[in-house]
Structure 1
Amino acid sequence: MSSSPASRPPTIDPVAASRWARQAPADGAPWLHEEVGRRMQDRLQWIKATPRHWADWSPLHGGLEAHALVAQRYPQAATFVLEPEPALQPRTADAFAAPWWSAKRWRAGRPRLFGDLPEGGVDLLWANMGLHMAADPEALIAQWHRQVATDGFLMFSGLGPDTLMELRGAYQARGWPEPTHAFTDMHDWGDMLVHAGFAEPVMDMERIVLTWGTPEAALAELRTLGRNLHLGRFPALRGRQWRPQLLQALAGLASPAHDGRIALTFEIVYGHAFKPVARVAVAPESAVGLADMRQMLRRGRPGT
């Protein structure tokens, strides 16, 4: 499934998004990604189902520490790693070959890398902090739906629209183009989940404020979190005065409420949804996938 261009996030440049997806984190996933993964992992305590197997979507970006927390929670589950970008697969393989990932520590052993998933999909698909950087999120959610087993579930997180609202205000005050693309509201993510065939989507959000002592430190960390994918971003190379001006703008975001440190807000959206048994609409002719047909045969006629 691929969504139409009109239904995609209107401010994302797909070429820039593809370029960012192929870029491996220099020093591991950002701290914010790991922290969001830790908080999302904690939400698994409210899921009664115990997965027989699970898959981690793009763990270099999502976070290896977060991956380890999920593996610890489900030590008996078979683990799979999905990396959709071939350019990142060697780095991902190296990361999971490191000594910290040992069969003695993880009962399920090393993850299975980039291979076929179990027939019908995995019981849990884990996708941390990636959806907001996708140029075609509906197509990505549809791909995730195909990889989740019937009665399995998806857990994901991403940035919401209040992210970097202070920086956006500073850019607007100076008449500069947007500093980043627009982030999607959690209710729209929920609609996309239902459209893809997921059921019972549960969405929630929280705000995390990060602070820095200097504008240089703030800029350095922001660069680890992504790039400006906005179609209307500044189209050429910046002049010599750009960096001092940007650092000055960041310095202006120092907040008395945070002891005079530069403060930026990140809206974190969490979501999970289950994959129900496929239902076939009543029609003269209906097309059903082989995996869905097997599930329906095991459970009885559609609609029962």
Structure 2
Amino acid sequence: METIFDQALAAARRERAFRKQEKGASFLIDLVAKELAERLSVVERNFEDAVELHGGTGAAARMASQTGKITRLRRIETSSMFARPGEDLTVAPLEEVPIEPASVNLVLSPLSLHLVNDIPGALVRIRRSLKPDGLFMAAIPGAGTLAELRDVLLSAEAELTGGASPRVIPFADVRDVGSLLQRAGFALPVVDVETYTVRYDSLFPLMRDIRAMGMANPLVGRSRIPMSQRFFVRAAELYAERYADPDGRIRATFSVIYASGWAPHESQQQPLKPGSAKMRLADALRAPRDDDAGGS
């Protein structure tokens, strides 16, 4: 397994962000928590035992609980500092899924799986933790997230130094996430993308928000050489040139993949057995003749 992310650094930055809790910095996790809760609310069943896996602020756990669909919910985080008063919180690194096999009905993963080095392994462990017909729901930053920032940082560094190093982490493609769910053994996997565009006065408040969200670069291969003020000024200039609206404010994209899958159960809808179809595929895909299409 390739080590892409410095796990200790990623955890430390999330913990620092939670400790400081700067005003407005939780906007993305709050959006995701609300969306996950809305999706959970339309599922026609209740979940006796649920887990929020590395959800940071706990917003997803709180909003999911408010749907009335969950009887008991516990949280797992990288530090006990994330616990609310009186809460029994399990402490575990981002890479771990400390849940007993077939012990829970629901696992929520809001904005943390993108920091795991072994995502296929984590998904397998999550699927095994679910009871039959248990549900997994995740929100994962996807391809396109902070694409504008990635572009201007690479351009500014190449222009000033003749080289470039990774300064924005890689994000998964929605098709890859769907494939990973299938490979992990989830039934009825569903993935879709919601794109949120946030506007800022300049690059500098955007970067402050990224740090305040605990999303600053934790790549093992990141450059350790501090960049000059000139670098950031040039990046800000490029951002304004390429991604500003007519009023001068810049755009930042956050593309979130919402993924869900079920632990297999005999009651679930099953694919037809080979040879049992009532219509031949060739007939279903047959192109209409001219007279079928109203031609003369």
Category of TM-score, reference length = shorter chain: 0.7 to 0.9
Alignment partner, residue 165 of structure 1: 147
Deviations 1:79-111 (A, max 9, x none): 11122x2xx12x122xx10xxxxxxxxxxxx65
Q: Work out whether 1:46 is the aligned partner of 2:42.
A: yes
Cα distance, 1:253 vs structure 2: 4.9
Asked if 2 retains the 8 angstrom alpha-carbon contact of 1:253 and 1:263, the reply is: no
Following superposition of structure 1 onto structure 2, how do residues 56-71 of structure 1 map, counting pairs within 5 Å?
A: 56-60=52-56, 63-71=57-65
Q: Evaluate the alpha carbon distance shift between residue 92 and residue 125 of structure 1 in structure 2; reply closer, same or farther with a 3 A threshold.
A: same
Alignment partner, residue 234 of structure 2: 245
Deviations 1:21-48 (A, max 9, x none): 2431233473111111111211113322
Alignment partner, residue 142 of structure 1: 124
- Aligned-partner SS, 2:20: coil
Q: 2:89 aligns with which of 102, 113, 118?
A: 113
Q: Work out whether 1:235 is the aligned partner of 2:224.
A: yes
Q: Work out whether 1:198 is the aligned partner of 2:186.
A: yes
Alignment partner, residue 78 of structure 1: 72
Q: Evaluate the alpha carbon distance shift between residue 17 and residue 273 of structure 1 in structure 2; reply closer, same or farther with a 3 A threshold.
A: same
Amino acid at match of 1:166: E
TM-score (norm 2): 0.74
Deviations 1:189-229 (A, max 9, x none): 12222222211110000211011123321221122341224
User: Whose Rg is larger?
Assistant: 2
Aligned mates of 2:243, 2:70 — CA distance in 1: 47
Alignment partner, residue 203 of structure 2: 215
Aligned mates of 2:179, 2:49 — CA distance in 1: 27
Unmatched 5+ stretches in structure 1: 6-11, 98-109, 279-304
Q: 1:265 aligns with which of 253, 256, 266?
A: 253
Amino acid at match of 1:223: R
TM-score (norm 1): 0.72
Amino acid at match of 1:13: I
Amino acid at match of 1:228: N
Asked if 1 retains the 8 angstrom alpha-carbon contact of 2:29 and 2:59, the reply is: no
Amino acid at match of 1:67: A
How many residues end up aligned between the 2 structures? 247
Between the two proteins, what is the percent identity of the paired residues?
21
Cα distance, 1:256 vs structure 2: 2.1
